[in-house]
Structure 1
Amino acid sequence: MTSAGLNLIAQALSIYGRDLRLEVSNSRFQEMFNLPDSLVTPGARFDDTIRYLAETGEYGHVADVEAYVAQKVEQARAFEPHYMERTRANGRTISVEGSPLPQGGWVTVYTDITRAKRSEELLRARSEELSDQVLAHAEELSATNRELAATITALEEAKRQLTAMEARTRLTTEMMPAHIAHVDAQGYYTYSNRRLSVVLPGSPSEIVDMHMSEVLGPGSFAKVKPHLDAAYAGQSPVFEFTEDHDSRRIRVALTPDGQGGVYLMSMDITEETQARVALQQTRRRALAAQMTSGLAHDFSNLLTIILGMQGKLAKMPLGPEARELVAATQATARRGGRLLDRIADMTGKRTLRPRATDLHALLHDLKILASPSLPRGVGLSVLDHAPDAPIMLDPGMLQDALLNLILNARDACGATGQITVSVHAVGDIWIEIAVTDTGPGFSPEALKQALDPFFTTKGGEGSGLGLPMVYDMVKLTGGDLRLRNTPSGASVTLRLPYRAAPPMAGGLALLVEDSDDLRVAVRDMLVDLGHTVIEAASVDEASALLADVEDIRLVLSDIRLQGKATGLDLLDRVAAGGPPIVLMTSLPQNDPLHRAALVRAPVLTKPFTRAQLSALIGGEEAA
């Protein structure tokens, strides 16, 4: 139908693609230039057509045909809108109007204007009353009008292309998980892709004509302003800051526009930062273990020899003073052995085992465990503002760390004082746990070095490994630890990533596993825990099911699956507010995929039992 329509028009028409091959032409194109069928067949080469026309005399005498063809091909590669008129070798005159296409290539329309030209010449010959100047102007005006009409057509096409390009650009920027904006020289927004509320929840989406300080708030704007001033001065800073509302970590890139304004791109990298912190801590621990394992082995041997020699001395008939020295040496050597054990605990393999944890119950048990070790004059208060829903934590590691902090606070308070443990959520990003006391607080030296291994203010009674072990636990989760003094004493604040636990047993579960045998075994476990199960073998299948099936309450996915996509890609595809995802894998813990998964979602290491699965997803109590 398209070909039939093109054949009805009086002009010759051809369309060549970006590869300089014919896409479409009409019958008038073949008739006008007397082209063979091979040159009007889709796919015919542009250079072959030019060569044929040059050899048949279409362009008059051409001394070097190949050079002429090469010149025309070069012009076609850098195609520009144009209008021209030329007289052919057969004496007829044609107009040639060309316009580029948005996807590459161009369309050209050829119009035979011989009759119009002859009419102009006849008018010149027969009009004695009109001066040659008027006729020349008339001819020039006629040609100009034709060229103007072609230019208007080209401009309208360019306008249409620009409008479509602008719409595509805006749609693309509004789909990005980042805020893209522009501010003028005074700091007022002139453009925004309306994604600021995704990066900073609670912020407005429509911010054009608003000032940055009004949009970001005074605290966040104060952190951005020095870098904004640098961008106004011509630099292109990239920086990170922690915003005040939910303590999200934000990365911002600023680029001057060359006219006094600045382009901005900002994105939430909180999860990336948590993963980076956890990975750095894992690497530090591996390096520390490598460095200390050999030393610990040698020192253990030396301590064994010392204890053996002192044991022999203790059996000899020595005086009271010598016996005291032997006993003191033995006690010191044993203390050295305990210290080596703690070093091994700190630098050895400590695996996080997050599970659905009721923080209320953990804090209740913590108070029961810690209270008997406190003097009568030291009180322990727990301010429990933790979320009611279960949270993914390693309860054993966390409880050990909090007990360590409470015992440190006890030693700081002495015979009387007050210890307070307070817990609350910071948005949906962090769980913040603070242990404060009414002791003398940290000395300036302790504030700088308390997290360094072996630093202690307890003299011979302390190992200097308590706070470093707490710090190690926090960093393994991707969190952070802060020491400070309050008006009443010292405070140690832990920030752990807030990861809500999967829902309680029951409901529809999506199982993503590419091994048929494993899928059967895991499905039976989920069914035993009260779930209805649907299955997929790849990320693409799982994504399709998530899009089509409502009420999926849990996704249990292997990390390595059919195809190139992994369980981590499935995490990226699940929209905010979608069902929680639990990953499972048989990869070793030092595998990059396994390490990356640990800081983004709960991970079950294969093989696992029904009880372990139940503990992780918050179903029946693990046996």
Structure 2
Amino acid sequence: MDHADQRNKAMTTAGLNLIAQALSIYDQKLNLAVCNRRFQEMFDLPDALAQPGASFADTIRYIAEKGEYGEVENIEALVQNRVEQALAFEPHYIERVRPNGEVISVEGAPLPQGGWVAVYTDITRTKQVEQLLRARSEELSDQLLSHAEELSATNRELAATITALEEAKRQLTEIELRTRMTTEMMPAHIAHVDENGHYTYSNRRLSSVMPGRPSEIVGLHISQALGSAAFSRIEPNLKAAYKGENTVFEFSEDHDQRRIRVAFTPDQSGGVYVLSMDVTEETQARVALQQSRRRALAAQMTSGLAHDFSNLLTIILGMQSKLKKMELPDEAAELIAATQATARRGGRLLNRIADMTGNRTLRPKAVDLHSLLQDLKLLASPALPRGVGLSVLDHTPDEPVMLDPGMLQDALLNLILNARDACGTSGQITVSAHSIGRIWIEIAVNDTGPGFSKEALEKAINPFFTTKGSEGSGLGLPMVYDMVKLAGGDLQLANTPTGASIILRLPYRAAPKAQGGLALLVEDNDELRSHFRDMLVELGYFVVEATSVDEATALTADIEGISLVLSDIKLVGDSTGLDLAQRLDQQGPPCILMTSLPLSDPLHREALAHRPVLRKPFTRAQLGALIRTEARS
């Protein structure tokens, strides 16, 4: 605490001690926040019960045992009753006579931040005067009685006004509670910081947006609540907001690499409103969608070019074949052979381009990463020289996750073979895999080769860039990059003290846990519904059916024990299968979507960005793999 804060605290304490009333403030957990000396003196409290943090229940118990409430048969019941009344945080005013004959008034009111303040006033003298006036009322003059009647009328008017104010206060309190409840249910953190960066309001959702942070942050400085690393990322934008600028930005926090979007809005009074939300899934979906669009554009640009280039290569190879049959000098034969080899290499390159820009659709299914990594080592080891070792460090979760095992294995094999070429005849390749929270699966391929050159770090993922000369196509890393981006992940290249490192980061999506039981099938085509029902029955499910989202929603609400939902995306009615899946994500069984829509359809792309989608037609084995049920022949 700095000197100014200490001075302000001392001034506040001195001021509270100078007022005649006793005052106490308890927080929302009924622990003492502050009290003045008069409060301790009025109830003759020990020092321990007049210090911040003292329990309200202990204080009530202490003064009850001293006889403050007269003879009490069950003190613990009295304490419990007073605690329940206090937790209701309702405004109140009472007058009571203490055992020593003193009359006190007690006025309590809730605080906006939670908790309440109580003021205790000694009104003994006032009550004595009232009794004296009543005793001598017959001796008062008519004028005094008239004046008293006027005062009484005025008091009644004041009482009516106070009642109206109390009602307005009650309504404001209800509005505040309703507003707080609404903000606390939002999937975002809403807060306000003053001109010094201290929180004056929070909807207590910071910990849900950034796990590991506190929920009760009112009074804390923003750097204390967020931590030094996160604060350093937001500080420049916060300073801009203090200067009057509206700022919206994103950053990745260190705990589990969540992507956080933050909006700062100046309040025109020196403070700043703060809105922050977790946009990790949105970012993953956006990355996947952007990559799909890039690939579609690349396919459009290259398809015509590749067709014409293929025709040219065919003509070149045909002409070289004719030249080879002619009686030409030996030097010409060598040139013909070199030309044919180059043309064939061009053909292979065209095939690689077609693979990269063609309809490579992710086909996620439940994957045991332990088995995938073990198989990877078995597949890659025979392709390595004796002097090159391969280690696989597997720290992945035990539960299956949704990945395309074929594309992932191809990508990792590609990286291992690149690492082999970098190591030469001796070295070490290490594949390490682990999860980052339940947000990412991270797989790193490290080698002990010479590492990436500066140019390679900048251009390695660009198509046709290669450091292998004529031996390389320059499409290996770009295809790995394409796979990662299609899944909504990211690829990082770096040098380590011992060589090169390539890190794949893929979204962590746990596989559905349905294992037999009752399945809900949502399909509006009668013939298809019958076909899919048979598949589910063969996989061990009992099946109930629906033809629309509304019907499916009603069934999930009325029928207990539904363990799986299989739904078409395009259904009768205004709602789609994606709408149904989003409803069930809150508290419902896992939902698998299926469709015959082309990949170019926006609805298909949107669904694919959030969950696996079965492309019609599909087999029972494909459905079984997706729900982790062994297909039986």
Structure 2 length-normalised TM: 0.73
Partner of 1:370: 380
Partner of 2:270: 260
CA distance in 2, matches of 1:292, 1:544: 49
Aligned partners of 2:596 and 2:615 also within 8 Å: yes
**Residue identity opposite 1:426 in structure 2:** I
CA distance in 2, matches of 1:370, 1:553: 39
CA distance in 1, matches of 2:601, 2:204: 38
Q: What whole-Å deviation, never above 9, does each CA across 1:438-459 have from its counterpart, x for those lacking one?
A: 0000001000000111111111
Q: Which moved more, 1:497-506 or 1:415-424?
A: 497-506
Aligned partners of 2:518 and 2:564 also within 8 Å: yes
Residue 285 of structure 2 is aligned with which of 275, 280, 288? 275
Residue 578 and residue 229 in structure 1: after superposition, are their counterparts in 2 closer, same or farther (change >3 A)? farther
Aligned partners of 2:519 and 2:541 also within 8 Å: yes
Q: CA RMSD for the aligned pairs?
A: 2.6
CA distance in 1, matches of 2:273, 2:555: 39
Q: What whole-Å deviation, never above 9, does each CA across 1:49-94 have from its counterpart, x for those lacking one?
A: xxxxxxxxxxxxxxxxxxxxxxxxxxxxxxxxxxxxxxxxxxxxxx
Q: Secondary structure at the residue paired with 1:344? A: helix
Residue 464 and residue 331 in structure 1: after superposition, are their counterparts in 2 closer, same or farther (change >3 A)? same
**Residue identity opposite 1:492 in structure 2:** I
Residue 543 and residue 472 in structure 1: after superposition, are their counterparts in 2 closer, same or farther (change >3 A)? same
Residue 404 and residue 622 in structure 1: after superposition, are their counterparts in 2 closer, same or farther (change >3 A)? farther
- Deviation for aligned residue 1:140: 11
2:451 matches 1:429: no
Partner of 1:618: 628
Q: Secondary structure at the residue paired with 1:502? A: coil
Aligned partners of 2:539 and 2:631 also within 8 Å: no
Residue 183 and residue 538 in structure 1: after superposition, are their counterparts in 2 closer, same or farther (change >3 A)? farther
- Deviation for aligned residue 1:526: 1.7
Partner of 1:194: 204
Aligned partners of 1:252 and 1:267 also within 8 Å: yes
Residue 442 and residue 578 in structure 1: after superposition, are their counterparts in 2 closer, same or farther (change >3 A)? farther
1:575-586 aligned at under 5 Å gives the runs: 575=585, 578-586=588-596
2:171 matches 1:161: yes
Q: Which moved more, 1:386-395 or 1:327-336?
A: 386-395
Partner of 1:561: 571
Residue 502 of structure 2 is aligned with which of 471, 486, 492? 492
Q: What whole-Å deviation, never above 9, does each CA across 1:378-401 have from its counterpart, x for those lacking one?
A: 111111112222211111111111
1:603-614 aligned at under 5 Å gives the runs: 603-614=613-624
Residue 548 and residue 186 in structure 1: after superposition, are their counterparts in 2 closer, same or farther (change >3 A)? farther
Partner of 2:407: 397
Residue 460 and residue 544 in structure 1: after superposition, are their counterparts in 2 closer, same or farther (change >3 A)? same
Residue 304 of structure 2 is aligned with which of 263, 271, 294? 294
2:262 matches 1:246: no
CA distance in 2, matches of 1:410, 1:246: 31
Partner of 1:351: 361
Q: Which moved more, 1:552-561 or 1:405-414?
A: 552-561
Aligned partners of 1:505 and 1:620 also within 8 Å: no
Partner of 1:179: 189
CA distance in 2, matches of 1:446, 1:280: 24
Partner of 2:493: 483
**Residue identity opposite 1:307 in structure 2:** L
- Deviation for aligned residue 1:599: 1.7
Q: Secondary structure at the residue paired with 1:356? A: strand
Residue 251 and residue 184 in structure 1: after superposition, are their counterparts in 2 closer, same or farther (change >3 A)? same
- Deviation for aligned residue 1:225: 1.4
Partner of 1:453: 463
**Residue identity opposite 1:340 in structure 2:** L
Count of residues paired in the alignment: 490
Residue 479 and residue 622 in structure 1: after superposition, are their counterparts in 2 closer, same or farther (change >3 A)? farther
Aligned partners of 2:620 and 2:631 also within 8 Å: no
2:601 matches 1:595: no
CA distance in 1, matches of 2:625, 2:432: 26
CA distance in 1, matches of 2:269, 2:304: 62
Q: Secondary structure at the residue paired with 1:172? A: helix
Aligned partners of 1:615 and 1:622 also within 8 Å: no
- Deviation for aligned residue 1:148: 6.0
- Deviation for aligned residue 1:416: 0.6
Residue 512 of structure 2 is aligned with which of 502, 512, 534? 502
2:227 matches 1:217: yes
Partner of 2:75: none
Q: Secondary structure at the residue paired with 1:247? A: coil
Partner of 2:246: 236
Q: Secondary structure at the residue paired with 2:529? A: helix
Partner of 2:25: none
CA distance in 1, matches of 2:245, 2:148: 57
CA distance in 2, matches of 1:380, 1:478: 28
1:304-319 aligned at under 5 Å gives the runs: 304-319=314-329
Q: Which moved more, 1:576-585 or 1:264-273?
A: 576-585
CA distance in 2, matches of 1:279, 1:433: 22
- Stretches of structure 1 that go unaligned for 5 or more consecutive residues are 1-128
Partner of 2:583: 573
CA distance in 2, matches of 1:205, 1:545: 37
**Residue identity opposite 2:306 in structure 1:** A
CA distance in 2, matches of 1:206, 1:268: 19
Aligned partners of 1:612 and 1:622 also within 8 Å: no
2:442 matches 1:442: no
1:128-167 aligned at under 5 Å gives the runs: 152=162, 154-167=164-177
Residue 580 and residue 167 in structure 1: after superposition, are their counterparts in 2 closer, same or farther (change >3 A)? same
Aligned partners of 2:365 and 2:625 also within 8 Å: yes
Q: Which moved more, 1:241-250 or 1:184-193?
A: 184-193
Aligned partners of 1:614 and 1:622 also within 8 Å: no
Q: What whole-Å deviation, never above 9, does each CA across 1:98-137 have from its counterpart, x for those lacking one?
A: xxxxxxxxxxxxxxxxxxxxxxxxxxxxxxx99xxxx9x9
Partner of 1:95: none
Q: Secondary structure at the residue paired with 2:348? A: helix
Structure whose CA Rg is larger: 1
- Deviation for aligned residue 1:371: 1.2
Q: Secondary structure at the residue paired with 1:574? A: helix
- Deviation for aligned residue 1:523: 2.8
Aligned partners of 1:232 and 1:256 also within 8 Å: yes
CA distance in 1, matches of 2:550, 2:193: 40
**Residue identity opposite 1:218 in structure 2:** S
Partner of 1:324: 334
